[in-house]
Amino acid sequence: MIKESLVKALSDQVNAEYYSAYLYLAMSAYADRAGFKGIANWLFVQAQEETAHGTHLYQHILGRSGTPVFGDIKTPQTSFGSIKEVFEKVLSHERMVTERIHKIATLAQQEQDHATYGFIAWYVNEQVEEEAAAEELVAKVSLIADNPGLLYNLDAALAARTYTDPFAGNAG
């Protein structure tokens, strides 16, 4: 049975993951309205991943005989000044998520809940990838500056991203 401190922390993270999905949907809508369908696609896939993360965390709580606690999901920012601002926000948001995940990992260690620690370790590693991807996009958009041709190329490249369920075939 999972301890209540971890149920609360994981439930809070479920909420944060769904907020992340809302944020990425808002960013996707901004990019779509600005005519960047590829960037909108990349952000939409990001939203799908965040939803999968929230569901995965929820299932872990249930699988450990806990009862998830649900809170309000705050309204995300919906307007942005530029595509560069969007990706800078992605990076700052992913860094914040990393901090949250690290706190859960530390709590799992403190509670000596090895199952939850092993479970959350996947997210620790995932956040390394998320931050690296966001850093790369910020760097690319910064290099592009105001060159519409290069931004068009980036938009076209990001259109190729497809959603793959990170937990497909994984019972845990």
Per the domain annotation, does 143 fall within a domain? yes
Question: CA 63, CA 79: separation in Å to the nearest integer?
Answer: 38
SS3 71: coil
Whether residue 41 is predicted with pLDDT greater than 90 in this model: the reply is yes
Residue 9, domain extent: 4-70+82-158
Per the domain annotation, does 125 fall within a domain? yes
Per the domain annotation, does 96 fall within a domain? yes
If you average pLDDT over every residue of the chain, what do you get?
96
- Mean pLDDT of all residues in 58-87: 97
Here the CATH number for the domain that contains residue 114 is: 1.20.1260.10
Per the domain annotation, does 87 fall within a domain? yes
Question: CA 156, CA 102: separation in Å to the nearest integer?
Answer: 34
Looking at residue 31, the DSSP 8-state letter turns out to be H
Per the domain annotation, does 169 fall within a domain? no
Question: CA 95, CA 69: separation in Å to the nearest integer?
Answer: 24
pLDDT of residue 145: 81
pTM for this predicted structure = 0.94
Per the domain annotation, does 138 fall within a domain? yes
pLDDT of residue 161: 97
| pLDDT tens string 76-134 | 999 999 999 999 999 999 999 999 999 999 999 999 999 999 999 999 999 999 999 99
Tally of structural domains, the chain: 1
Alpha-carbon separation of residue 101 from 72, 95, 122, 148 (angstroms): 20, 10, 10, 37
Banded model confidence at residue 169, pLDDT cuts 50, 70, 90: confident
Looking at residue 32, the DSSP 8-state letter turns out to be H
Per the domain annotation, does 98 fall within a domain? yes
Whether residue 46 is predicted with pLDDT greater than 90 in this model: the reply is yes
- Mean pLDDT of all residues in 145-161: 93
Alpha-carbon separation of residue 107 from 18, 27, 38, 160 (angstroms): 21, 32, 39, 38
Banded model confidence at residue 146, pLDDT cuts 50, 70, 90: confident
pLDDT of residue 153: 96
Per the domain annotation, does 62 fall within a domain? yes
Whether residue 170 is predicted with pLDDT greater than 80 in this model: the reply is no
